[in-house]
Amino acid sequence: MSLDDIKMRIAKACKAADRPEDAVSLIAVSKVQPNARVDSVLQEGHRTFGENRVQEAAGKWPEFRETFQDIDLHLIGPLQTNKARQAFELFQSIHSVDRPKLAKTIARLAQEEGHCPHLFIQVNTGAEEQKAGIAPAETDAFVTECRSMDLPIEGLMCIPPVDEEPSLHFALLAKIAERNGLTGLSMGMSSDFESAIALGATHVRVGSAIFGARAYG
């Protein structure tokens, strides 16, 4: 698959869902990929990328930014509070806000820095023990809490359980977002971004379908 193929499939899925093509942002997930592959996607003109670890992002993106303008970087993995300041410097969006302690840290940093990345609340739609994210039943209260701290919550994010039909999780996330008046939906990966778009995704996070299989991670 190439970047162009994925863009074409996104356009097709938008059309099928009667949504405008620019309703969906493609986040190219570059975690663990060799720099040469990332470089070639940058050469093709793509600027929106996702990383799941602060440390890894810090090791490669400052250098890419010296060469390529307007890079829009999204943190899609868990964030420890002691890495939040570094995340502020590196990322334009954070998709993994999932607990009050982290929300408070982000609110304090936003005060100090005078700006804040776009924020998505991660919802653990499958209620999986090992997975990050706030429980679906606690999400409404958490959205309210974040808003009371003036955090710019753009939407919700989920990673469905691997062995379940993702559409059910996408539909649940869309429902929770709607009742909270949130328009952003970060959902859909290489294997299921078309069904995510059918259910309202505004941000799809596609890694291996663009870059090829990851060696690990």
Instruction: DSSP for 53-91, please give it.
Output: -HHHHHHHHHHHHHHSSS-EEEE-S---GGGHHHHHHH-
Between 110 and 207, name the residue whose CB sits nearer to ligand PLP: 207
CA distance 104 to 98: 11
Interface with ligand PLP, residue 79, by CB under 6 A = no
**Among 73, 77, 143, 203, which residue interacts with ligand PLP (rule: CB under 6 A)?**
77
Between 72 and 145, name the residue whose CB sits nearer to ligand PLP: 72
**Sign of the C-alpha dihedral computed for residues 139, 140, 144 and 147 taken in this order:** positive
Residue 135 backbone dihedrals phi, psi, to 5 degrees: -65, 145
Token reading at 169: 């999780």
* Site track 145-174 with ligand PLP (rule: CB under 6 A), x = hit: --------------x---------------
**Among 38, 79, 94, 206, which residue interacts with ligand PLP (rule: CB under 6 A)?**
206
CA distance 65 to 175: 37
Interface with ligand PLP, residue 207, by CB under 6 A = yes
Interface with ligand PLP, residue 195, by CB under 6 A = no
Q: Residue 113: helix, strand or coil by DSSP?
A: helix
Residues 22-61 that bind ligand PLP (CB under 6 A): 29, 31, 52
CA distance 42 to 40: 5
* Site track 115-144 with ligand PLP (rule: CB under 6 A), x = hit: ------------------------------
Binding region for ligand PLP (CB under 6 A): 29, 31, 52, 76-77, 159, 189-190, 205-209
